[in-house]
């Protein structure tokens, strides 16, 4: 933490007081453009895209309708991200949803939002991602096993959470480096799958006759359609994460807008996957 006169960060000497008031504490601005894009794309490319495709297909009943759901979810995520980019430019303060609701509706609704976020929503999301990582990481060590030892899955998941926690405690710069490396690896893996599938399709080695019945058995039940959208939107969750650390961005007004454009690449990768 460094002392500064203003919340949005200034270049004035640390510890300088504003009038008779006490100096305020601000976060160090150590997140650059690539790190901002990595935070947005990396938050979205998680366990959801590897766990949700079968869920969307099961609930919709046909591959054609599933692709429409994926495309619609990507458009909704992009529109929401653009709205948050505007909010991040107008209100360059960290906190995300909490800050905007505090400014608009007051302290009580803002407290309820951050209370739910810290104690319910975020722990559940971290648990799902860590368990998914543990299952994929342990699968090569248990070939032929239909189910992995749950105790090992929980140990690996807990160790992963603890390691990332220590990295974030140690240095924000180190955490951004780890985040950039992980995001590059995830984007590369998705691009390999997308390019490989495109090559196989172009060579005519795929079974394209299923495209003639792409919308066969499509469900018309509102409940199943809603669950399909729930699965799809879960894969795109994270498009608003950059607004949580706006005060740690260099030139937040420009980088919040540019970083959201990484969602376009992410939407393409996930839809192609």
Q: What is the pLDDT of residue 26?
A: 67
In a domain, 138, yes or no: no
Residue at 109 is within a domain: no
- Joined tokens for residue 217: 């058995």
Please give the Cα distance from 48 to 44 (Å, whole number): 8
The CB density around residue 175, as the number of other CB atoms within 10 Å, is: 19
Domain that holds residue 227: 31-103+173-272
Structure tokens at 2: 């460094």
Domain count, the chain: 1
3-state SS assignment for residue 96: coil
Instruction: Give the tokens for residue 98.
Output: 């909490």
pLDDT for the residue numbered 15: 39
pLDDT at 227: 92
Identify the segments of the chain with pLDDT beneath 70: 1-30, 32-33, 46-52, 205-210, 247-248, 250-273
Classify residue 90: in a domain, yes or no.
Answer: yes
pLDDT tens digits along 81-96: 888 888 877 887 878 8
C-alpha span between 96 and 175 (Å, rounded): 19
Domain annotation covers residue 43: yes
Q: Is 79 inside any structural domain?
A: yes
Convert the pLDDT of each residue in 122-166 to its tens digit: 888 888 888 888 988 898 888 877 788 899 999 999 999 999 899
pLDDT of res. 74: 84
Q: Is residue 146 part of a domain?
A: no
Contacts of 142 (CB under 8 A, 6+ apart): 148, 149
Is 58 contained in some domain?
A: yes
Structural domain includes residue 160: no
**R_g of the chain computed on alpha carbons:** 21
């Amino acid at each position: 933490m460094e002392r500064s006169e203003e919340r949005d960060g200034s270049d004035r000497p640390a510890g300088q007081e504003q009038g008779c008031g006490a100096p305020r504490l601000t976060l160090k601005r150590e997140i650059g453009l690539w790190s901002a894009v990595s935070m947005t794309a990396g938050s979205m490319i998680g366990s959801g895209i590897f766990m949700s495709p079968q869920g969307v297909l099961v609930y919709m009943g046909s591959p054609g309708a599933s692709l429409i759901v994926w495309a619609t979810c990507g458009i909704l995520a992009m529109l929401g991200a653009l709205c948050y980019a505007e909010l991040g430019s107008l209100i360059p303060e960290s906190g995300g949803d909490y800050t905007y609701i505090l400014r608009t509706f007051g302290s009580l609704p803002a407290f309820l939002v951050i209370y739910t976020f810290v104690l319910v929503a975020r722990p559940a999301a971290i648990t799902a991602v860590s368990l998914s990582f543990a299952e994929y990481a342990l699968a090569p060590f248990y070939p032929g096993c239909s189910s992995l030892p749950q105790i090992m899955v929980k140990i690996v998941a807990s160790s992963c959470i603890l390691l990332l926690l220590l990295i974030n405690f140690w240095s924000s710069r180190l955490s951004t480096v780890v985040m950039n490396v992980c995001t590059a690896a995830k984007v590369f893996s998705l691009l390999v799958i997308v390019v490989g599938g495109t090559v196989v399709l172009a060579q005519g080695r795929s079974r394209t006759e299923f495209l003639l019945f792409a919308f066969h058995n499509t469900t018309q039940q509102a409940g199943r359609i809603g669950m399909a959208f729930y699965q799809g939107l879960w894969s795109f969750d994270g498009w608003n994460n950059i607004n949580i650390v706006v005060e740690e961005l260099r030139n937040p007004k420009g980088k919040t807008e540019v970083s959201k454009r990484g969602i376009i690449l992410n939407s393409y990768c996930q839809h192609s996957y």
